[in-house]
Structure 1
């Protein structure tokens, strides 16, 4: 029974990845090219999300700041999900819905990249962060699930996993994050030996 459930989950993830591949990965390659351009223009990337998406934002920032597959210089990327004092201060003094937008106001500048992650595409604090990012002239990128939710209207580039199941969306996002990292590395630094 357990093996059948596990196999069904794996099959759903593979089907979602196959659908994403069949679409040509256009949004993924467009996002990676835009991020690489921002880095080459001495801009930074701000990543954010809630729960598992917060972990994905931190994962992406770690790969950019440290390294992915190439030995290369660090790239300026911040996860807005990591400073407990900032997060709790904003949530306590203002509202949880502003935990990302206030950081973007403080840290974001025109030409930077704001990458919001929400499996539903409807997380209020992620949407508010993307709204503020748009207003400040940041390029907005969203990682979400099928349809994009309200996030679709706030993103210059939207990567929507072709599924409605949260675990499958998160699994696709993990692959997309690695693809973005690898494409950025190759664009800026060439192929590994």
Structure 2
């Protein structure tokens, strides 16, 4: 209506009159707070691995700069982080530089499904390691549980071929951590560990590119 202004006044419910929606929202906020606190706790634990990540970056720069290759694998969300890392190395992370050879072993769906169909799911990464891996290459395996059979077989195949084996896992001891030459093990819920994997992947890229600059 022309010339008429309607004013809506916000009111606060009186104590004891909160609605079901209010209670649901409060519960959701508490659940999210616990999840985010768990994420931050696990990410903070990465600080204890700062020197290890810096060393990995130097080794990765040395081997890839000399023509070596990084093979990287994981299942589910960890496969996504493996693919993420491979993309950062073949593309770039921060500044422009030449591309480096890195293969995420979960991304070739024809190979994964053919190997899984013919040899079983436990062989989907190991057979690719035997196909692509060469002495001096690096295999990085990501697993929140540290007990995935296909990753353990990949680690065994890499050992046979003389690859350097690294792992990022949930809490240790676990079989994958024990099967590799070096590893980052983080205590926490699986989802939080998986979130910390992304931070670790980016930290490794920072260390890698810094090491490349030192070599130039």
> TM-score by structure 2 length?
0.83
Q: How many residues align?
A: 188
| Higher Cα Rg, which structure | 2
| Paired residues for 1:99-178 under 5 Å | 99-163=124-188, 165-178=189-202
Conserved? CA contact 1:44–1:113, under 8 Å? yes
Aligned equivalents of 1:30, 1:98: Cα separation in 2: 30
Q: Residues 68-104 of structure 1: CA distance to partner in whole angstroms, max 9, x if unpaired? A: 0111111110001011111111111111100011001
Q: 2:42 aligns to what?
A: 16
Aligned equivalents of 1:39, 1:101: Cα separation in 2: 21
> TM-score by structure 1 length?
0.93
Q: 2:75 aligns to what?
A: 50
Cα distance change of structure 1 residues 103 and 123 upon mapping to structure 2, 3 Å threshold: same
Q: 2:207 aligns to what?
A: 183
Alpha-carbon RMSD: 1.2
SS at match of 2:172: coil
Residue 6 of structure 1, CA deviation: 1.2
Gaps of 5+ in 2: 1-26
Q: 2:22 aligns to what?
A: none
Gaps of 5+ in 1: none
Residue 150 of structure 1, CA deviation: 0.1
Aligned equivalents of 1:181, 1:82: Cα separation in 2: 20
Residue 148 of structure 1, CA deviation: 4.6
